[in-house]
């Protein structure tokens, strides 16, 4: 996705792995040196001049600011937006790091990062001391606005709603009206339903929830109801062409690959292995440790005692139930809890870890 002239591109997959998969744990153990462009962006934000400079800067200077904004924004978006979404979707491998995101999931992540970067360089008109905290506070608004703008570019309704005439055509039926909203929403997203035009299985589950019909909510039933809703929409041909046909035609067609006598997905989601689960567990523990240390520091607790106590409790020997390692083959290497416990027993190492953790806590968005 990058080329020699694209200075505003996202970090490389390797950089994404180093930062997103390892997360806060890596930042506590590895030296961090922000690029000069990032320092420039922070200085402009601190003075309240970022938006004005980005708007008036020549293309090359603006590209440097956009690139710096990407460096700051993408880890926040991954941890606060992408990872929770992928976990809700059951994409556990995608939730471990940017490098592990499947194609469609990566596209959504890039879209959200682009929306938040645009929000930052457009709306940072007041002095901002903590850029990460400011960005984190605006994540929902920025990503929702970006989603609506992308729908608008595809010709879809930015806020899908059923007009009065369509509700009347559907007899004010609650489920058919809800299905109409789902159709208007679906035509405006880039993803597809595999080899199907509509995500009938997902809508069948929604039908069951809306109607309470446990036995009649299946794919064939929903397919007939979709045809019924589309027939009602076609009563206004111009409206149907503008808000259904046109955005639906902009969807990317599914890419299929022959596999023997059948057809298979060329890049199926792989099952999550022990290493991916271990990385996800460590990332969750690191997030919990950061939150606990932050709370302790805000309450006035001793920084050294707080850091050592939290790290020992979260990562130290005796933590966990052992179930997280039941599917792993013993390899003789120290487990994370053994390694952390040994580290905390070393006074010199503790001083370095405490200093680095306190620096990370000071920079991390709360």
> pLDDT tens-digit profile of 132-163?
999 999 998 888 887 777 776 666 677 788 99
**What pLDDT score does 17 carry?**
35
**Do 124 and 171 fall into the same domain?**
no
- Same domain? For 235 and 189 the reply is yes
- Among 207, 233, 249, the domain boundary falls at 249
DSSP 262: E
Task: Please give the biggest Cα pair distance in the chain.
Answer: 77
- Number of structural domains, the chain? 3
Considering the domain boundaries, does residue 338 fall inside one?
A: yes
Q: Both 136 and 177 in a single domain?
A: no
| Residue 227 sits in the same domain as residue 288 | no
**Confidence (pLDDT) at 192:** 64
Query: Which stretches of the chain score pLDDT less than 50?
Result: 1-33, 256-272, 319-328, 331, 363-366
Same domain, 229 and 357: no
On whether residue 208 sits in a domain, the answer given is yes
198-205 contact pairs (CB < 8 A, 24+)? 198/222, 198/223, 198/226, 200/226, 203/179
- The answer as to whether 303 is a domain residue is yes
- Same domain as 32, residue 147: yes
Taking alpha carbons only, the member of 306, 312, 299 closest to residue 345 is 312
Q: Are residues 58 and 132 in the same domain?
A: yes
CB 338 within 8 A of CB 319: no
Pair (315, 214) in one structural domain? no
Same domain, 147 and 19: yes
Task: Tell me which residue range forms the domain holding 232.
Answer: 164-249
pLDDT value, residue 230: 94
- Say if residues 37 and 67 touch (Cβ distance below 8 Å): yes
pLDDT value at residue 326: 45
């Amino acid at each position: 996705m990058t080329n020699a002239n694209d200075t505003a591109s996202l970090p490389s997959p390797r950089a994404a792995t180093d930062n997103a998969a390892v997360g806060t744990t890596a930042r506590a153990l590895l030296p961090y040196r922000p690029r000069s462009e990032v320092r420039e962006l922070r200085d402009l934000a601190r003075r309240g001049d970022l938006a004005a400079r980005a708007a008036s800067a020549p293309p090359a200077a603006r590209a440097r600011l956009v690139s710096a904004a990407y460096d700051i924004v993408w880890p926040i978006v991954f941890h606060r937006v992408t990872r929770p979404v992928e976990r809700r979707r059951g994409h556990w491998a995608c939730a471990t790091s940017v490098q592990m995101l499947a194609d469609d999931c990566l596209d959504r992540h890039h879209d959200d990062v682009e929306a938040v970067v645009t929000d930052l360089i457009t709306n940072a008109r007041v002095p901002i001391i903590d850029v990460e905290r400011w960005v984190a506070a605006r994540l929902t608004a920025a990503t929702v606005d970006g989603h609506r703008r992308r729908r608008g570019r595809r010709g879809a309704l930015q806020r899908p709603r059923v007009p009065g005439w369509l509700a009347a055509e559907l007899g004010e039926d609650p489920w058919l009206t809800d299905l109409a909203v789902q159709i208007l929403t679906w035509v405006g997203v880039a993803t597809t339903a595999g080899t199907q035009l509509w995500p009938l299985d997902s809508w069948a589950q929604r039908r069951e929830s809306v109607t309470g019909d446990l036995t009649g909510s299946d794919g064939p039933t929903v397919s007939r109801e979709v045809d019924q809703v589309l027939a009602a929409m076609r009563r206004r041909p111009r409206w149907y062409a503008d808000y259904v046909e046109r955005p639906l035609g902009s969807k990317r067609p599914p890419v299929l690959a022959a596999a023997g006598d059948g057809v298979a997905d060329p890049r199926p989601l792989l099952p999550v292995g022990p290493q991916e689960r271990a990385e996800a567990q460590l990332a969750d523990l690191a997030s919990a440790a950061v939150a606990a240390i932050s709370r302790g520091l805000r309450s006035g607790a001793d920084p050294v005692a707080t850091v050592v106590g939290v790290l020992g409790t979260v990562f130290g020997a005796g933590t966990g139930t052992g179930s997280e390692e039941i599917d792993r083959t013993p390899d003789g290497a120290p487990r994370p809890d053994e390694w952390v416990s040994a580290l905390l027993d070393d006074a010199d190492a503790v001083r370095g870890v405490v200093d680095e953790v306190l620096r990370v806590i000071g920079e991390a968005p709360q």
